[in-house]
Amino acid sequence: MADTVLEVEGLRAGYGPAEILFGISLKLARGEVAALMGRNGAGKSTTLKAIMGLLPPRAGQVRFAGQEIAGLPAFRIARLGLGYVPEDRRVFTDLTVAENLEVGRRAARGHAAWTPERLFEIFPNLAAMRGRRAAAMSGGEQQMLAIARTLMGNPEAVLLDEPSEGLAPVILELMADAVLRMKREGIAVLLSEQNFDFAAAVADRAYVIERGEIRYDGSMAALDADPALRAQHLAL
């Protein structure tokens, strides 16, 4: 597939003596949104961390934009254009909104660069609180800031770890809009998700992970349309 931006093959990773991932393989096409679904402890976050280089992969290949990135430090991977939004947001609580965005800023590759102003169009809530410290923001606002901060790096693809976690339904809609807006901007998104409805609303492709292995690999539409298939893999 010529337009594959991220390709993972046989990825293994774990913490200390604990093996978590037993050979994950997945692909993300340019401008595509893929959802990585599974229960707690299935290995969703670990997969994203291992791709990002935050957890050193023990085996397997990770290719991003045609380059082998497995084993590179996280900052090199980020500089190649892979963005990462962590599960627990990890905004810099001592810093203001504007300063958080500044930390994420990196030069654009070819296309028009993201600026705070453009991001405030997508996340209007943030515009009003540029000077506010992130510690004084709600969970939903922090989640938006975390995504905006990553976009400031002008990524070609973004790993989005559990974007819906702990968010109120109203905010959830905003978050879904944000993911679709990223897709319209040509950014590929790989998100890990437990909320099926959220994933079904934004994703083109679905992966189901269970005990560190991919169990389903196919279109989101097919999974959404087939309750039996869903029950088999997600036990919903």
Partner 1 sequence: MSVEFSFLLVQALSGLASASSLFIIASGLTLVFGVTRIVNFAHGSFYMLGAYVAVTIVPWLLQIERSPTLFFVGVLISACVVGVLGVLMEILLLRRIYKVPELFQLLATFGVVLMVQDAVLHIWGPVDIAGPRAPGLRHGVMILDQRFPAYELFLICAGPVVLGLLWLLMHKTRFGVLLRAATRDRDMVGALGVNQALLFTGTLFLGAFLAGLGGALQIPRVSASAQMDLSIITEAFVVTVIGGMGSIGGAFLAALLIGQLQAFGVLIFPKITLVLVFLLMALVLVVKPWGLLGRPEAAPVSAMPEGIASPRRFRAFEKLLLVLALLVAAMLPLFGDAYAVKVATEVLIFALAAFSLNFLVGNGGIVSFGHAAYFGLGAYASGLLVTKLGMPMEPALIAAPLAGGFFAALFGFFIVRLQGIYLAMLTLAFAQIAYAVCFQWVEVTGGDNGIVGVWPAPWVASRIAYHYLVLVVAVLGIFALRHVIYAPFGASLRAARDSAARAEAIGIDVRAHRWLGFTIAGAAAGLAGGLYAFSKGSIDPTLLGIPLSVDFLAMILLGGMQSVMGPVLGAAAFHSIKDVFMPLTDHWRFFLGASIIALVLIFPRGLGGAYASLRARFAGGAP
User: Which residues lie near partner 1 (CB under 8 A)?
Assistant: 15-16, 18, 52, 54, 73-75, 78-79, 84, 86, 90, 92-95, 99-100, 102-104, 106, 149-150, 153
Inter-CA distances, 47 with 57, 142, 181, Å: 9, 23, 24
CB within 8 Å of 139: residues ≥ 6 apart: 89, 166, 167
In the complex, least distance from residue 153 CB atom to partner 1, rounded to whole angstroms: 5
* 148 vs 214 by CB, closer to partner 1: 148
Report the nearest approach of partner 1 to the CB of residue 7 (Å): 20
Report the candidate in 55, 60, 29 with the shortest Cα–Cα distance to residue 44: 55
CB 53 within 8 A of CB 72: yes
CB of 152 to partner 1, least distance (A): 8
CB nearer to partner 1: pick between 151 and 188? 151
Q: Are 129 and 176 in contact (CB under 8 A)?
A: no
The one-letter amino acid code at 186 reads G
Q: Which is nearer to partner 1, 51 or 200 (CB)?
A: 51
- Strand 157-161 vs strand 188-193: parallel, antiparallel, or unpaired? parallel
Rounded CA gap, 216 and 129, in Å? 42
**Smallest distance, Å, CB 76 to partner 1?**
8
CB 205, min distance to partner 1, A: 24
Helix (H) / strand (E) containing 142: helix 139-151
CB atoms within 10 A of CB 40: 7
* Nearest to partner 1 of 80, 180 (CB atom): 80
Q: Decide whether 99 or 213 has the Cβ nearer to partner 1.
A: 99
- With beta carbons less than 8 A apart as the criterion, state whether 156 and 182 touch: no
In the complex, the smallest distance separating the C-beta of residue 92 from partner 1, rounded to whole angstroms, is 4
Closer residue to partner 1, CB minimum distance, 100 or 164: 100
